[in-house]
Amino acid sequence: MLYTGSKKDLLDLIKQNGTLSMDEAVSNTALAKTTLREHFLQIERDGYIRRDYIRSGPGRPSLQYQITPKGNHLFPSSESELIRELLKFLKEQGDELKIEQFFESFWEKRLIKVRNRMDEASEYHLESRLKKLKGFLEEEGFMPEIESNSIDRTITIKECNCPFSEVVKETRLPCKLEAMFYQELFNKNVERTSYIADGDFACTYEITICD
What pLDDT is recorded for position 98? 92
Q: Which residue has the higher pLDDT, 78 or 129?
A: 129
Cβ atoms within 10 Å of 62's Cβ, excluding its own = 16
pLDDT, tens digit, for every residue of 42-74?
999 988 899 988 776 676 788 999 988 788 778
Name, in order, each residue with C-beta under 8 angstroms of 184's C-beta and a sequence gap of 6 or more: 111
What predicted TM-score, i.e. pTM, was given to this entire model? 0.68
Residue 90 and residue 68 in one domain = no
Residues 154 and 109 grouped into a single domain? yes
- Residue 188, pLDDT score: 86
Average pLDDT over residues 120-137: 91
Across the range 90-100, mean pLDDT stands at 92
Q: Which residues contact 173 (CB under 8 A, 6 or more apart)?
A: 99, 100, 103
Where is the domain boundary, 72, 107, 127?
Answer: 72
52 and 93 part of one domain: no
By the 8 A CB rule, do 131 and 121 touch? Answer: yes
Measured between alpha carbons, how far is 184 from 78 in angstroms, rounded to an integer?
Answer: 32
How close are the terminal C-alpha atoms of the chain, in Å?
38
Domains in the chain: how many in total? 2
Range of the domain at 22: 5-72
Which residue, 14, 38, 72, sits at the end of a domain? 72
d(CA 178, CA 107): 8
CATH at 66: 1.10.10.10
33 and 121 in a single domain? The answer is: no
Q: Are strands 154-159 and 203-208 parallel, antiparallel or unpaired?
A: antiparallel
